[in-house]
Amino acid sequence: MTLKEQITEDMKTAMRAKDSERLGTIRLLLAAMKQKEVDERVELDDAMVIAIVDKMVKQRKDSIAAFTTGGRPDLADKEAAEIKVIEVYQPQRMSADEVATAVKAIVAELGASGPGDMGKVMGAVKTRLAGKADMGQVSAAVKAALTGA
């Protein structure tokens, strides 16, 4: 069963259970997926669905930060609840040590040295670790590997 099919089945389960919060969040996810399919005229594979899930989690985290600084803990709590529903569809993430090891191997493979090669390294790292690791963590690991920190 593909990830897209799993999300659709989870929506049906939430409908049967009358779980309105979970249902609403899953519908938002399905709408984002459908939008991507229509805009780009493609059939989504699991990697594309994971990218959409990652984007939605990042949006929710940004919203939580904004709501918290704006003094709206009620809205921040709602966003946090949505993150819990959406994160179920993310694959297991790599640990910080695993990310650092993978980045060092890619840097050595490319023969990169110094901050000037960051773009080249990030391009290679993104293709290999997309969906497996948090890109913020990956970026920090690349900076550390290239500066020798």
The CATH number of whichever domain residue 65 belongs to comes to 1.10.1510.10
Q: Check pLDDT > 80 for residue 7.
A: yes
Instruction: Kindly calculate the radius of gyration of the chain based on its CA atoms and give it in whole angstroms.
Output: 18
Q: What is the pLDDT of residues 99-119, one digit of tens each?
A: 888 888 888 888 777 777 788
Domain coverage including residue 116: 96-147
- Report the alpha-carbon distance of residue 103 to residue 149 in Å, rounded: 13
Please state the pTM of the whole predicted model: 0.75
Indicate if 54 and 113 belong to the same structural domain: no
Indicate if 104 and 82 belong to the same structural domain: no
Other CB atoms closer than 10 Å to residue 43's CB: what's the count? 9
Q: What is the pLDDT of residues 27-81, one digit of tens each?
A: 999 999 999 999 999 999 888 898 899 899 999 999 999 999 999 999 999 999 9
Indicate if 119 and 75 belong to the same structural domain: no
Q: Check pLDDT > 60 for residue 149.
A: no
